[in-house]
Structure 1
Amino acid sequence: MNKSALSLNVREADGPRRVVALTGAMDWHTATQLREEGVRLLADSPHLVLDVSAVTFCDSSGLSVLVQLRRRAVGAGGSVVLTRVPGHLLRLLEISGLGPVFLGDGAGHPPEQDGPHGSR
């Protein structure tokens, strides 16, 4: 059985904000890794922008970790937003009702015309 793989790479660091590219699957196989690396990144910066353009799969475990990371960030006065969201993940966010939470400014406000979500 092949285990899922996920990599997180910090692409940019702009003051208190980190842009992190995720590549691979966000599922129960990678949930612990995503949570641990996300917590580590939030300790360095309370604002994360996650480029999910190369995320190939996401299940409820992946969504759960995103929600946990967002709660941690908001508790520290920060935010977690997603950018460059592929169609399969966009549908999952819309179905779960999490679209407004992750696709706006991190505070639940809808994305601006040319906002952080990039091409969807």
Structure 2
Amino acid sequence: MKSTKSKGFKKPVKKPNILWFVAEDLGPYLESNGDSTIHTTNPSRLASEGVIYTNVYSTSRVCSPSRAAIITGMYPTSIEVNHMRTTSHTEDTERPSYEAVLEPQVRMLS
């Protein structure tokens, strides 16, 4: 007896709804982090419904390489963005100058 079920048909997988909220030096001043100085309605609501990462570190000292790592999933050193503020004497150090745009072969996760 043959089965009438198709072996190649799969039920669609529900994709997660992810909002990655990045803000410069804002973390300690949100209500969701315990500060009540300013009422932050929407960020507080998002925090109550989502996940707050409280123990996160970066391999970079400054913001742009960290953001590049987040949007590409790659280490800043592997996409040549880790030397952002160390290029004032590029001719002396033989280091490449800092480019504000990622190389064309680097793809974003979005």
Q: TM-score, normalised by structure 1?
A: 0.19
Q: Determine which structure has the larger strand proportion and give its number.
A: 1
Q: If each structure's helix is expressed as a fraction of its own residues, which one has the higher value?
A: 1
If you compute each CA radius of gyration, which structure gives the higher value, 1 or 2?
Answer: 2
**TM-score, normalised to structure 2's length?**
0.20
More RCO (CA 8 Å, sep 6+): 1
